[in-house]
Structure 1
Amino acid sequence: MTTDRSILLVGTGGWGREVARAINASPRWCLAGLVDTDPQALASTRDALPAPQPPVFKDALSAAKATRPDAIAMVVPNPARQPLLEHFLRAGFPAFVEKPLVHSPDQLSRLGEILAEYPTPLMVAQNYRYSAHSRALRRFIEDAQFGRLREIHIAFARNGRNFAGHPVSRMAGPTGLLMELGIHHLDLLRYLVGQEPSVLHAEAASPLKEFAGWTRIDADLAFPSGTTAHYSARYNAAHDETPWGGSWNFIFDHGEAHYFPCPSADAPAIRFSPVPPFGWPKDLPTPDAREQRQNLLQAALAEFATSLDENRPAETGFADNCLTIKTAFAIARAAGWDFA
């Protein structure tokens, strides 16, 4: 497959630099240009790329006019992203955006209205589901080699004091922990089970004075198949931190599986008890952290290109991502948050 589409990258900070590397290495995309209001971030990302380096711009609208790209990649946090995204969707530019798509039901409704009037392709980079391990685990669950999936226990824990100055520490209520971080876990949960959950119960607390919003969330969910899930997310872990993807335990009729969506290179991504007699691809490697990030981005970018080729919604397009976001909203409301 040849590089046949150009994409303009808006946002070149830490994660934007990772996205730039992935686009540069993609067989389907080439960088039309880099955009950022921060000249240091622009220069750093440009210099991290091999020659020939793409042109750089301070203004996204001027950059789009100058480069006429086939699509826009937006790695700009909300709320700054919303007006830019709306402009590009109205102008007909397919958009590849970072999660979370929105922070509130009002923002989601507004975006839905714009897409109804201007039906432009939009894909959200919910990356965890695109890993080879996640794909294989979903097949394992569907094949029912251990029987029916009964329970899922998801634990995420980090010491928030280590990044108390990060923008997420200043976000109110559920925004920092649930919408910015937990949205990854909820999307992967929906993908692996293949059904939409109902929220049975949720509670939240704010035990860290360094954070404006919630730093602990617990939620119980149920799926139509009878599978239940318990989700626990914490930014107040003094020790026993999990990887950013969390620690997942699956309980089946006849066995268990333990999964780390973001494993370390010296530990397996998934362990079974007992070991499956067949059907699990034992040769899946566990790459280092940077390679994991690049692999996930490459898979997401490939899906974006293929969805445009086939004139269909991307797997994590607007309609599907709405379901993930609405699950997060339901947890927040059940825990007492009022989005009004």
Structure 2
Amino acid sequence: MNRRQLLSTTLAACALLATSTGAARAHGRRNKVVLIGIDGVLYSRIEQARAPNLLRLSAEGLLSRSSVAPHISISGPSWATVLTGVWDRKHGITGNIFDAVPFARYPTLFTRLQRARPGLKTQCIATWEMIAVMAGSGDPRADVVVTTAPVPDDPDESKTDAATAAGVVTAITRFGPDFCFTHLDQVDHAGHFAGGARSGNYLAAIERVDELVGRIVAAVDARAAAEPAESWTILVTTDHGHTPKGGHGGLSTDETATFVIARGPDFPAGVTTDRFSLADLTPTVLDLLGAPPDPASDGRSMLAALSERPLAGR
């Protein structure tokens, strides 16, 4: 074989390899996750409000309703559990004022993802400023950490939450981060300052947040349709509930009530259970994004649990 024949054969082989590699990439799917945190919302009131987007997500995926008791039913401890996978007795956060120190011993989901898979792109876009303390802690930290600036003339936080959701929609549409966490606050605000969980204002806040969830879901679905190699999972949760007259922090049924919604190709549709709670979210995201589990975690990947003991439909 002369040099010209050898070169021709080599180029043909390279072209075949490139074609087969491209085909493999086209058939491979890259998991991506959006975790939506809605502060202080009771699922029973979501049902009463007939919130279409949250109820549709529940119907299209898995719904787990459970209690966080004896964990503290306060935002700081609960969101720390969502983002670390350990309960308050380990991370030690007991209120809403804290620093980054607890996350040195129990790193956040962002840090664990970045350490395991440095190429992953992670974002945190939140209304409550203390979420940034969590997402911005550790080394490495989340790639993008944004606290939405309070919108003027926004007594119920609806405008600020809308700005947060708009930021999430932009992030998904333009950048397609591998993991994005967002926090919306107005339902909790209504529980504290606008009549409590039984009030019409609380229901109205749920309706507004549901619309924002719908915008985020629409952005995910549009992105998934435009990028068939991406496989998107949407998770939704809350940190605590509220008493009928408003407030939380105790161990009553209303205060400790939480839920997890999981919609994606790895989760069965139309299933209701009580098996999964806040501490299971970090292990689940790690599993979905190909990062190793944390041996210190109090929770467990929902995917692993479902593979061992599948759940029947509603």
| Greater share of residues in strand | 1
| Greater share of residues in helix | 2
What's the TM-score, normalizing by structure 1?
0.28
Q: RCO higher in 1 or 2 (8 Å CA, sep ≥ 6)?
A: 2
What's the TM-score, normalizing by structure 2?
0.30
